[in-house]
Amino acid sequence: MRQPVTELAPAKINLCLHVTGRRADGYHLLDSLVVFAGVGDRVSVADGPALTLGISGPEAGALGPDADNLVLRAARAMGPGTAALTLWKELPVSSGIGGGSADAAATLRALARWSGQPLPDAGAVLGLGADVPVCLAGRPVRMRGVGEDLTPLPALPPLWLVLANPRIPVATPQVFAALTRRDFPPVPDLPPAALRSASDLADWLAIQTRNDLVAPALTVAPVLDAVQSALQATPGCLLARMSGSGGTHFGLFPSDASARLAATTLAAAFPRWWITPAPVLAA
Catalytic residue ranges: 12, 131
Within 10 angstroms of residue 65's Cβ, the number of other Cβ atoms is 14
Coarse DSSP helix, strand, coil percentages of the chain, rounded to the nearest 5 percent: 30, 30, 40
Q: Please name the helix (run of DSSP H) or strand (run of DSSP E) that holds residue 133, with its range, or none.
A: helix 132-137
Quote the CA–CA distance of 216 and 178 in Å, as a whole number.
5
Bridge pairing between strands 141-145 and 149-152: antiparallel
Q: Taking every pair of C-alpha atoms in the chain, what is the biggest distance, in angstroms?
A: 55
The number of angstroms, rounded, from the C-alpha of 19 to the middle of its chain's C-alpha atoms is 17
Bridge pairing between strands 28-46 and 141-145: antiparallel
User: What DSSP character marks residue 155?
Assistant: P
Amino acid identity, residue 269? Answer: A
Quote the CA–CA distance of 71 and 85 in Å, as a whole number.
8
Q: Please name the helix (run of DSSP H) or strand (run of DSSP E) that holds residue 232, with its range, or none.
A: helix 224-232
| Bridge partners, 12 (sequence order) | 36
Angle subtended by helix axes 256-269 and 224-232, to nearest 10 = 130
User: What DSSP character marks residue 121?
Assistant: P
The number of angstroms, rounded, from the C-alpha of 234 to the middle of its chain's C-alpha atoms is 22
DSSP SS3 for 107:
helix
